[in-house]
Amino acid sequence: MKAVSPEPLLEVRAMGKSFPGVRALNDVSLKLEKGEVLAVLGENGAGKSTLMKILAGVQPADEGQILMAGKPVEIAGVNDALEQGIALIHQELNMATNLSVAANIFLGREPRKRGLIDEAAILEKSKKYLEMVGLEVDPQEILGTLAIGRQQLVEIAKALSVKARVLIMDEPTSSLSQRETDTLFGVIRDLRGRGVSIIYISHRLGEAKELADRVMVLRDGENAGDLAKDEINHDAMVRLMVGREISEFYSRTIHEPGEVALEVRRLRTSAHPEHELNFSLRAGEVVGMAGLVGAGRTELLAALFGVAPLRGGEISLCGAKADLQSPEDAIRGGLALVPEDRKLQGLILEMTVRQNLGLAILKQESSYGLFLNEVREGEISRKMMAQMQIKTPSSRQVVRYLSGGNQQKVVLGKWLALEPRVLLLDEPTRGIDVGAKQEIYGLMEDLAARGVAILFVSSEMEEVLRMSDRVLVMHEGRLTGELPRDRLSEEAVMQLAIGNTIAA
């Protein structure tokens, strides 16, 4: 046996990475020993995924150094990472579900005989790796016919087949059942025993506690601290994840809320039909909806707006029961939804600012319900461009060429032209710069002051704390709690978001 090297297997020094308008990683360091399970925790957007993508060669770093066993290495692409023995298991599995298990394990590295794929060798070798992850499956089986948990084990087997020494798992349990999770944990412990190091990213603190030898916490793209095995407990983890001074805690002018504008009773969405949701929204109220990614918040908004079918329950608008089968119905009822992905769901990118602003109100403003009213369209677009302060060379500019913030304002403007009574916003400031963010916050305030009820989903803690009169928190499809403004704290929201119920 060779002597244990004093150097850690993998070390990251002073890593930095910026995206336009965002500093994703700043002076981040990381150490990983051979055969260690390191849990990396952090809120949404703390920089976990960016760091892992850099290690796996998916994205380049701007600055910093990566060392393997003390030697600096260059990771410029996925193949470099694999050569160093670093493999990333994606959150969403990244495999060819139409090919066999064996074919997937050797995809792109097929052993060949006389120029053709050596099927026999592939089968033989894949058996060995499947055994290592304890998966009993015929390697000739089509991957897509396996349950998700088993597909994931195949992906791990694939990583082992490239002699991975460092296995990065990004939220591996997000779509697994409890039993599949238990199996996966068994495999992880077994791999640790074989000397494979594992970086484990999760939102679920319980898993970190159960599995990790050490916890590393990222916050706002920086190291927030480490916890040794005997220090790992819920409170310590939450404290590190949130423990930031909220620099610009901002006091909104709070208005006395009016009548109930939206009431939801026993609502079941198709994404999480097992949970019933109950809540209400008053005119002039700004309610934040917090939770971790995948908590079912987007699905709830989609169900309210008639985009996704309801599995049950009742929606009332201004006291009257509403049957919302389609976005058309929802719009008629006074609802508006600014969706999460503005390019995919919010905008007709190849159309002009003016055409986009007019799209939802066209019908209302048409002559005889048929003909375009160009004059009104022009008036509306001028009015919304002024109100939203949309920066564009002309109303005839194609929306594709606008900045993210201005695009978002176009989506908002399209809905505000209809003067909705209830405004649903899904991640209203995602991917836009600070200035545009402030403007959108200002707009939300104006609207609330004019009696619009606002429900906004946000994964940015600061935004939730700053803008909400009241916060609803979701966890895995259910509402775990409600916090009025005076009981609002980052820690309270986080506790509810990870599924704990809090004693206030």
**Residues 308, 330: Cα–Cα separation, whole Å:** 12
- Please state the three-class secondary structure of 375-422 as a single string: HHHHHHHHHHHHHHCCCCCCCCCEHHHCCHHHHHHHHHHHHHCCCCCE
Least distance in angstroms from the C-beta of 411 to other proteins: 9
Please, which residues have CB within 8 angstroms of residue 269's CB and are 6 or more apart in sequence?
A: 277, 296, 299, 300, 302, 303, 308, 310, 311, 477
Closer residue to other proteins (CB): 397 or 489: 397
Contact 48, 466 (CB under 8 A): no
Least distance in angstroms from the C-beta of 398 to other proteins: 4
Query: Which value, in Å, is the radius of gyration of the alpha carbons in the chain?
Result: 25
Closer residue to other proteins (CB): 147 or 372: 372
Least distance in angstroms from the C-beta of 27 to other proteins: 15
Closer residue to other proteins (CB): 204 or 342: 342
Tokens describing residue 317: 């608008």
Least distance in angstroms from the C-beta of 401 to other proteins: 6
Closer residue to other proteins (CB): 318 or 398: 398
Least distance in angstroms from the C-beta of 333 to other proteins: 11
Closer residue to other proteins (CB): 142 or 362: 362
Closest CA to 330 of 310, 352, 356: 310
Burial of 342 (0-12, 13-18, 19+ CB in 10 A): buried
Closer residue to other proteins (CB): 318 or 359: 359
Least distance in angstroms from the C-beta of 194 to other proteins: 46
Closest CA to 60 of 22, 105, 24: 24
Q: Is the dihedral of CA 53, 58, 59, 61 positive or negative?
A: positive
Q: Residues interacting with other proteins, by CB under 8 A?
A: 20, 305, 307, 326-328, 330-331, 337, 339, 344-352, 355, 359-360, 362-363, 366, 369-372, 394, 396-398, 401, 403, 414
**Residues 458, 425: Cα–Cα separation, whole Å:** 9
* Amino acid at site 66: I
Residue 423 pairs in a beta bridge with 336, 454
Closer residue to other proteins (CB): 204 or 414: 414
Least distance in angstroms from the C-beta of 262 to other proteins: 18
Least distance in angstroms from the C-beta of 364 to other proteins: 10
Closer residue to other proteins (CB): 6 or 369: 369
Task: Give the helix ranges, DSSP H, for 212-316.
Answer: 234-242, 297-304
